[in-house]
A and B are shown apart, each in its own frame.
Chain A
């Protein structure tokens, strides 16, 4: 499977293994197509999770990670891609319906935009909140003080 896609996509795709777990690092431009291919051709019919990792020192600051599972193959695989801060990425809601809330959470926590998402808004934090808490430059005690004062009527949530 790996060889087949390597020849197809060339340098845009890299397959790695760490501690027995396989993952693909793919170029941002391959994203909706490669995921769709994994679902349709390779039977990865269950999208376990979508998440992101923030590397503030890198030029492309974010890793977006899809964890996929295939019921027929009984196999798990991860797909990773790098995107820059402010860049957007195609939504995978048309591929797996479960991506809806998962992408909303990624947007909520990291501020990554998903193009074509049906209803991209905050999910765990309140709608008017400013800031994206899981970015590395967001402190653990940091909060949207203004929001807390206006909506909760208290000085600080701490």
Chain B
């Protein structure tokens, strides 16, 4: 660069050369001197730019393709292309018996398999008009709430990693391991647990289950505080999440958004309270809500939810009654002709099952109402006018699992 004279450096390249990419030497010379006079014609005009994010992208948490329409760094609009993981779960259900289909639901939201199983088992129980015995309900609540914590921990770790904070990932995965160990001891599987059966639970708790759950509670409570010390008042975290991906309560309701995303917008609605299932009505817990409906509020809501889950588990594990764990269920499950819809509060939102029975051993139609699929639809509303980097933050904050979006 030293040979270059000042005159040479000040020569502005012909803008056309940028487009054609020819006079490259001229370009490299001129970039070293930044004191350009303003050119009469703009270097880059602000044409809209269409770029693809995904399907293989570390921040999309699976195979999600987002087509971004950009003006510079500003997002003008998005379109999601989904279906890469489509396995036809609903079609499979029509060709399996009620019992055979049970393990398949674990493969939808594979980080919260226990919740999927609970929703499905309860839906079929409702169709059969039976109820799980109290002890089974307590075991179900303990495992489901443990799974909610595990799901939120996985969300927090990956979401923070997307935004640039690497440490929370290690912390949350370290602690999530303890939950997976309990699952493994209970039913032999860590992720796709298949923990529940239609009518109750297959397995009695193992020796020392209650003690291990109590130990976990005392172990994890300070750990959640520890995550908060890393993020809650972290300036970078605040800059990246405050007022990012804002969605108003009215928009959220119109878009059918549920779960922590809805609650962060200020709607105090949780199916565990609104339409209680299992024995959630017996437990004392709060529903956290946010005010601004931004990424930061959604983070806070999920942090409080983890603590509330601990409260529920504590009450459940102290009050777990003795008794049978299976209701009287016929060997061959043949519900009467009819249809029901049952939904539960999964970690991501309202997870519903709509089952139509024709009186045979297989569902005539089984529809899954997936929270991730419906919540993902709000992405477009949430990122319009934001920057490209915020798209990553918003995908993270929606907490989608592509296995559930595509089913």
Contact = CB atoms under 8 A, between A and B. Distances in A.
Interface of A: 18-19, 21, 45-49, 51, 53-54, 65, 67, 71, 74, 76, 78, 96-98, 100-102, 109, 122-126, 133-134, 138, 140
Interface stretch (B156-164, B174-182, B282-290, B365-373): B365-373
Contact of B365 (A53, A78, A123, A126): A53
Interface of B: 82-83, 86, 88, 90-92, 94-95, 126-127, 129, 251, 253-257, 267, 269, 274-275, 338-341, 343, 350, 352, 354, 356, 364-365, 367, 369, 373-374, 377, 406-407
B343 A48 contact: yes
Nearest to B273: A74
A125 B86 CA distance: 8
A65 B274 contact: no
19 contacts: A19-B127, A19-B129, A19-B338, A46-B253, A47-B256, A48-B256, A48-B341, A49-B352, A49-B354, A51-B367, A53-B364, A67-B341, A67-B354, A74-B274, A98-B254, A98-B377, A102-B256, A134-B365, A140-B91
B378 to A, nearest CB: 9
A71 B340 contact: no
B302 to A, nearest CB: 21
B352 A48 contact: yes
Contact of B83 (A47, A125, A140): A125
Contacts of A109: 90
A28 B243 CA distance: 44
B280 to A, nearest CB: 15
A123 B374 contact: no
B255 A98 contact: yes
Contacts of A71: 253, 267, 269
A48 B350 contact: yes
A96 B94 CA distance: 29
Given A18-B339, A134-B91, A140-B91, A100 B377 contact: yes
A76 B254 CA distance: 16
Given A19-B126, A96-B256, A124-B83, A51 B92 contact: no
